[in-house]
Structure 1
Amino acid sequence: MQTTPTVEKSTLLLLVAGATVICGLPLLLLFKTGLTSESGIDFGPLLEAVRSRSVQRALWHSIESSFLSALAATFLGTFLALLIGLTDIRAKGILVFLILLPMMIPPHVTAIAWIQALGPASPVLRWLGLAPELGSTHPLYSREGLVLLLTLQHAPLVFLLVRAALRSFPRELSDAARTSGAGAFTMLRRITLPLLGPSLLAGFALAFVAALGNFGINALIGIPARYTTLPVLVWRRLASFGPDVLPNVAVISVILALVALAAILIQSLLQQRMRTSLIGLPQDPLAISLGRRRPYVEALVWLFVACVLLLPAASLLATALVRTYGLPLSADTLTLDNFTEVLWRQSVTLRAFTNSTFIAGVAAAVIALISLLLGYYLAHRQAGHRRWAGAAFTQSEIAFAVPGLVMSIAFILAFIRPLPFIGVSIYGTLWIILIAYVSVFLAVGLKPVAAAFLQMDTSLEDAARVSGAGFFRRMRKIFAPLAAPSAASGAILVFLTAYNEVTVSALLWSTGNETIGTTIFNYEDGGYTTLAAAMSAVVVLATIVIMLGMNALAGRVPAGTIPWKD
């Protein structure tokens, strides 16, 4: 019979080995393919790729669009977080929900909605008499259009980070400043923004990396605009030539991965220099009175929310309700055939909904379980256990930071051959997408659980050990219930993200194993715009229903379970 220490060590080694297989090994194979040859390390293919004009152009476009959109997203997200977090603006709960909603909507759906909202065939703009002339160039098919949509997609990420940082500030800082006679803008300039420095940097880096790996917006806007980025270049080459071009695609993927990792490294170094220690307990944030300006400020905020949400949503729905794309919405053109087609007649869409629900749900459950076990070791009293768990955690963070399309290439390299010992191949099946989801989104579920374990009192484990409780009994009776709200919060985010994603599955899907994201993208890419709009409308509605359902449960579950609720 195994003793408790042996069980603990065996479980830890199993977790580290699993994280290495699904997170570290695929990336290692990617770098091996891109940076080595039969004679050893060989930078020749990498240098050749860097000298290629198409790669140079795509690399510059990726860095340029990611930097500009991350900068704009940081300004927009910070402004909204300061406005909602520090003033007496009303209906904050609803505003927070609506501001975070675009983050939960797939990027390719966002792109489709805005293409239909602002184009010459826009049913809403044509009804208002504001549509561009038929035959004119779509206003979004440009670098500026691409940057705009990336900004709107990733500003909620910055908003979430900055708002959380504001809520962690000790109230004494602002109280002391106001007692000294400092006005709202002086306090903002001298206290709030300097203390927010690390969070602003983290938000910028997160938005930059997210934009760098974004596939849906880059493809649907960039391809017509002839503004090709690295993810699109990888997808086009692999889609055109198949697995035979894997070494060439791997080299380009290595370049994309290096840019993302460099951005994360620079962010970490700068954050260490900007780190500020705060003394005191976090309290309710300050509510600066806007006075007579409050109605005007609220009107501007609600107008912004309406433009970001209602215009594309109305255009998406209007496009889904007409027989042919470009027709104005009227009593004569109104039809539900597109919804009937995607929900009942097209077997591919039904299969896609089933596949996405299954693999997103299983991935969320698996990640929650892994996070509960790994989170325990990350806060373990033994330094050796923490180091081993930290190695697994670091691999998961790198897998999340690296663009999803790069991870797709890594998984193709790792699993294109049958698995050793059992001789079974998962390439071209739903299982490879499921494992890729667990790899890419493990850090999303693990971070809140790790934070929860770090806050637990070590005396809990001491008491359990004295009572004779073994490892799994301690986990089941003590630690799992305490960390369950954080694990559920992470699992919800994983499910919502994986349910609609297209970046990871864009190169891993196959006939019979479609996902919601790839099906919508294929409809739009194939010219079936009304079907893409109908399916996108269903996905948006499903996302809103899920989020509203989670909101309704907020009062019945422990605090922290719903990720966007305080």
Structure 2
Amino acid sequence: MAADLTLSRHHRGGEVILAALIGVWLVAVSVWPLARLFMEALAPGKDGAPLGLMAEVLTARATGRAVWNTLAVSAGSVVISSVLGVLLALVTGLFALRGRVAMTFLILSPLLIPSQTMALAWIELIGPTSPILRPLGLAPPPGTTNPIYSGWGIALLLGIEHMPLVFVATRAALIALPGDLVEAAQVAGARRGRIVARILAPLVAPAALAGAVLAFAAAVGNFGVPALLGIPGRFPMLTTLIYQRLNGFGPSVAGQVAVLALILVLMAVAALVLRAVILRWLTVPLGRGAGLTPFDPGRARPVLEAGVWSLLAMIAVLPLLALLGTALSPALGVPLSADTVTLRNFADVLANSMVIRAFRNSLMLAFVAAGVCTVIALPFAFLKVQARMPAIRVLDWLVDAPWVVPGTVVALAMILAFLQPLPLVGSLYGTFWILLVAYLARFLPLVLRPVIAAAEAMEPALDEAARIAGAGSLRRVALIMAPMVLPAATAGAMLLVMTALNELTLSALLWSSGTETLGVMVFALQYEGNSAAAAAVSILSVALVLAIAVLLDRLARHLPPGALPWRS
């Protein structure tokens, strides 16, 4: 009995040490930077008045305009996201269509393609030199301003980019519905249209509404689309106002932009609180049973399939084809044909040392972040699921903070936290390391969530047997849990790599000479007017992400269910 008690205390001591190490790490890379940001925003004004800095920024005309534009554009984008997301979820979820995996992949592609690449693709698609619309006589007249450089253009692209959030929420609600509901309605003589309108649609409406609120939170914090469309169109939003202030005046205006960042946080948190309320009070518990069996569309199958493919071609395929056409054009404005197509733009960017360095930096940041996050996720999941430590519940909530708040806020928090020299290492500002710390803080949930889900599916007796046999915490993590959750950890790590490869929101504020990333390079090339080179770099980066996605898809049978969203 005494030996068992001593062994239990020994194991608990090891778990406490693990939890303490993870807690220190999270405080250093997540909690402290965000706390530093909030303290800066609440600083007194120049005259010493409490909250004077906040009052000064909030009463500025530029702030009011940026806040209004952010709210208006984000609300408009939610309408687009909701219509597209719900429509595609219902059609692909309720009807047995051919090629549903490919359809789902294209529907989710806006989550894989970075916002700056999507914005650049639509610029090339709709502009006067469009390689798609110009031969058809549908492009704007030469010399005119691209119509997408406007508030409605930003709303359109944000709506398309965040449509998958509504789609995933609605589709998940459909999958969770018991098939008995449909069978009972069919026995009662109800037709399909009535079943969908009177039974299924009301049941998935709360999930769709929650997805729409999440899309609003994402739109509020988006930087890539407002940067490429709003800055040239003189349409400021909060994220671009923060970028322009820091880019123009540097850390000296950190307090002012901290107030702007706090506004973004409040908007995002309000949206997430509303989402939680919707899910708690409007969702109807239905119990478990066999899932819905998709309807046989019968003669309507060709029409439905043609409609879905046409819509996906317009929002996902044509913009990328326009981007590819620009990359293959010898010069801006030259019509693309068999005689003019060239690979010179690709050769030029691959010979550019800055572009090569950007590829190297992005790959290094993405894979190092994926590796470190996996190392953190394994013991974290062990402590939460197997050890069931109460303190880990608090840490589990803190992990999501840098992912929930807008990326611009996280980048600014890193500047404020690591601008001043630290003991032994000095200042991280302007170095590769501040980018890595920001990536580690923001992208950890991408690996942690699937690892925790896989750990919860494990047989608890395995860990209990290892504990009774005298295995310590680290050995149980490495020898028992790690092999069991390895597929989920691999999928999460690869999703992190795909997300981080073309990241712009963090990098735009944290990069310096020598630490350029792919997202920064595309933005810089387009900003200086080199559209062909920007298109070439974008196509190469998208090809890299799609190659990783194809590799993951090939490994799908080895991954846990739900690891790949397009196969859910």
Q: When the two structures are superposed, what TM-score results if normalisation uses the length of structure 1?
A: 0.94
Change in CA separation of 1:40 and 1:168 when aligned onto 2, cut-off 3 Å:
farther
Change in CA separation of 1:205 and 1:375 when aligned onto 2, cut-off 3 Å:
farther
CA contact (8 A) 1:485 1:560 kept: no
Match of residue 317 from structure 1: 324
Is 1:215 equivalent to 2:223 in the alignment?
yes
CA contact (8 A) 1:489 1:560 kept: no
The within-5 A match list for 1:410-489 is: 410-420=413-423, 422-489=424-491
Change in CA separation of 1:205 and 1:396 when aligned onto 2, cut-off 3 Å:
farther
| Match 1:63 to one of 68, 71, 82 | 71
Q: How many Å apart are 1:559 and its aligned residue?
A: 4.2
**SS of residue matched to 1:123:** coil
Distance 2:425 2:301 in 1: 67
The within-5 A match list for 1:110-189 is: 110-189=118-197
Is 1:355 equivalent to 2:342 in the alignment?
no
Change in CA separation of 1:177 and 1:479 when aligned onto 2, cut-off 3 Å:
farther
| Match 1:107 to one of 90, 111, 115 | 115
Match of residue 536 from structure 1: 538
| Match 1:5 to one of 5, 12, 15 | 12
**SS of residue matched to 2:400:** helix
| Match 1:395 to one of 370, 395, 398 | 398
Distance 1:446 1:205 in 2: 24
Q: After the TM superposition, which of the residue ranges 270-279 and 243-252 deviates more from structure 2?
A: 270-279
1:16 partner letter: G
Q: After the TM superposition, which of the residue ranges 353-362 and 300-309 deviates more from structure 2?
A: 300-309
Distance 1:560 1:64 in 2: 35
Distance 1:141 1:503 in 2: 19
Match of residue 312 from structure 2: 305
2:488 partner letter: S
Distance 1:41 1:390 in 2: 39
Distance 1:156 1:465 in 2: 43
Change in CA separation of 1:40 and 1:439 when aligned onto 2, cut-off 3 Å:
farther
Distance 1:368 1:107 in 2: 26
Q: How many Å apart are 1:560 and its aligned residue?
A: 4.3
Is 1:372 equivalent to 2:374 in the alignment?
no
Match of residue 333 from structure 1: 340
Q: After the TM superposition, which of the residue ranges 106-115 and 463-472 deviates more from structure 2?
A: 463-472
Distance 1:206 1:98 in 2: 20
Distance 1:460 1:192 in 2: 41
CA contact (8 A) 1:253 1:406 kept: yes
Q: When the two structures are superposed, what TM-score results if normalisation uses the length of structure 2?
A: 0.94
- Identity across aligned pairs (percent)? 41
The within-5 A match list for 1:18-29 is: 18-29=25-36
CA deviation profile, 1:73-119 (whole Å, cap 9, x unmatched): 12211211111111122111111112112220110010111101111
Distance 2:159 2:213 in 1: 13
CA contact (8 A) 1:429 1:509 kept: yes
The alignment's C-alpha RMSD in Å is 2.1
Distance 2:40 2:230 in 1: 28
Q: After the TM superposition, which of the residue ranges 441-450 and 509-518 deviates more from structure 2?
A: 441-450
1:417 partner letter: Q
Match of residue 527 from structure 1: 529
CA contact (8 A) 2:488 2:560 kept: no
CA contact (8 A) 1:85 1:285 kept: no
The within-5 A match list for 1:546-565 is: 546-565=548-567
**SS of residue matched to 1:54:** helix
CA deviation profile, 1:40-72 (whole Å, cap 9, x unmatched): 993222122121111011011111111221232
Q: How many Å apart are 1:198 and its aligned residue?
A: 4.0
Distance 2:146 2:26 in 1: 45
CA contact (8 A) 1:111 1:221 kept: yes
Match of residue 194 from structure 1: 202
CA deviation profile, 1:213-259 (whole Å, cap 9, x unmatched): 11111111112222210000000111011121111111111111111
Distance 1:123 1:270 in 2: 44
Gaps of 5+ in 1: none
Distance 2:375 2:193 in 1: 46
CA contact (8 A) 1:523 1:531 kept: yes
1:474 partner letter: R
Change in CA separation of 1:287 and 1:394 when aligned onto 2, cut-off 3 Å:
same
Q: How many Å apart are 1:284 and its aligned residue?
A: 4.6
Change in CA separation of 1:85 and 1:529 when aligned onto 2, cut-off 3 Å:
same
Q: How many Å apart are 1:556 and its aligned residue?
A: 4.5
**SS of residue matched to 1:128:** coil
